[in-house]
Copies of this chain bind each other. A is one copy, B any other.
Amino acid sequence: MSTSRLDVLVVGNALVDVLSLEDDEFVARHGLERGAMTLIDEPRAEAIYAAMGPATEVSGGSAANTAAGLASFGARVGFVGRVRDDQLGAVFAHDIRAIGVEFATAPAAEGPSTGRCLIVVTPDAQRTMNTFLGAASHLGPAEIDPEVAGGSTVTFLEGYLFDQDEAKEAFRHAARIAHDAGNRVALTLSDSFCVERHRADFRDLVERQIDVLFANEQEICSLYEVDDFEQAAKRVRGHCAIAALTRSESGSVVVAADDTHVIAAEPVDRVVDTTGAGDQYAAGFLYGLTHGLDLPTCGRLGALAAAEVISHLGARPEISLADLARSELGGASQRA
């Protein structure tokens, strides 16, 4: 269906996750915004880190996690994001390349260190994220290679990029190139607080520039300032060709021009850490979309990938999603 070099080009914040298990009291004592992603500066990051228990470092970043999931499904995928030339930057670059993602963005030689997301996981498996963007905030239009962006079936962008002016410019630049080349642009709204920060921009984008939208229930309701999911779903139809709306254990709803598909969540024995559920849903969905699968199958692939990632600590798949898809969906996961 396409002669693009990449199935998906992903643009987002390059971050290393620092995860620790803490009790609920920790979240309260340090005034963290439970379940949300909060931007913090370096001194605050150091204070929270000092209070956290022994931690594990794993590569993260919402869109980068989606890129990793896409590669695990077997997609041809590239990632654009900024690290510094430091040890954590080397960790990020190693991990994303090791899973099969093309990552060519040059690390910054000066400025803040590689960004970290301090993630506190509470006993209910909920994650509370505190992000020091660091070098990730120095992503600009110059980091977007027009040839790569123009040669990708889908360009996937994260809403978090709107938190920094330079990154926002990179976002718009990538979207423009993709559309000019006749390709599709996908967006994740990222986080309901992020939607609050950028509601007008996001609404404008969704109405005019986005072909495929990913959002969870809170995010889509926040976008249209409604309390009711059905209303939000009605509003988004027609604004963009496809909206894939996730509802945690209630599964997902895929809203297209003329159809609505309701997809069940994949059962999970024990939810350990919900970090990355939305990121992996997007990975499965975009894999399906770029491989000619129908929308219900795209949704099922998303549900499968989300279920895998919430069953362990960390936001990237621990097993091959291509194998998982084959064993769960068989022929249906193959290119139509």
Is A184's beta carbon under 8 Å from chain B?
Answer: no
Q: Find A56's partner among B21, B57, B68 (CB 8 Å cutoff).
A: B57
Evaluate whether A98 and B52 lie within 8 angstroms (CB atoms) in the complex, with A57-B58, A87-B87, A113-B87 already known.
yes
Q: Using CB atoms, name the residue of chain B closest to A16.
A: B57
Which chain B positions have C-beta within 8 A of A40? none
Is A54's beta carbon under 8 Å from chain B?
Answer: yes
Contact yes or no, B87 A54, CB < 8 A: no
Complex CA–CA separation, A54 to B98 (angstroms):
5
Q: Using CB atoms, name the residue of chain B closest to A318.
A: B21
Contact yes or no, A95 B58, CB < 8 A: no
Is A53's beta carbon under 8 Å from chain B?
Answer: yes
Contact yes or no, B54 A68, CB < 8 A: yes
Indicate the member of A86, A87, A94 with the most B CB atoms within 10 Å: A87
Which chain B positions have C-beta within 8 A of A88? 87
Report how many residues on chain A are interfacial, defined by Cβ distance under 8 Å: 27
Is A332's beta carbon under 8 Å from chain B?
Answer: no
Complex CA–CA separation, A95 to B95 (angstroms):
22
| Closest-CB distance, A10 to chain B (whole angstroms) | 16
Contact yes or no, B68 A59, CB < 8 A: no
Complex CA–CA separation, A55 to B57 (angstroms):
9
Is A49's beta carbon under 8 Å from chain B?
Answer: yes
Contact yes or no, A57 B99, CB < 8 A: no
Q: Find A95's partner among B54, B96, B114, B318 (CB 8 Å cutoff).
A: B54
Which chain B positions have C-beta within 8 A of A58? 56-57
Q: Find A99's partner among B50, B53, B86, B316 (CB 8 Å cutoff).
A: B53
Complex CA–CA separation, A29 to B63 (angstroms):
33
| Closest-CB distance, A15 to chain B (whole angstroms) | 14
| Residues 68-115 of A contacting B (Cβ, < 8 Å) | 68, 86-88, 91, 94-96, 98-99, 113-114
| Closest-CB distance, A239 to chain B (whole angstroms) | 36
| Residues 32-65 of A contacting B (Cβ, < 8 Å) | 49-50, 52-59
Contact yes or no, B50 A94, CB < 8 A: yes
Is A159's beta carbon under 8 Å from chain B?
Answer: no
Which chain B positions have C-beta within 8 A of A53? 98-99
Q: Using CB atoms, name the residue of chain B closest to A58.
A: B56
| Closest-CB distance, A108 to chain B (whole angstroms) | 15
| Closest-CB distance, A211 to chain B (whole angstroms) | 30
Evaluate whether A94 and B49 lie within 8 angstroms (CB atoms) in the complex, with A86-B87, A87-B87, A113-B87 already known.
yes
Q: Using CB atoms, name the residue of chain B closest to A51.
A: B98
Evaluate whether A314 and B56 lie within 8 angstroms (CB atoms) in the complex, with A49-B94, A94-B50 already known.
yes
| Closest-CB distance, A151 to chain B (whole angstroms) | 26
Which chain B positions have C-beta within 8 A of A87? 86-88, 113-114
Would you give 7 A-B contacts (Cβ < 8 Å), ordered by A? Answer: A50-B94, A52-B98, A53-B98, A54-B94, A54-B95, A57-B57, A86-B86
Closest 10 CB pairs of A and B: A57-B57, A87-B87, A54-B95, A54-B98, A53-B98, A54-B99, A87-B88, A56-B58, A86-B87, A56-B56
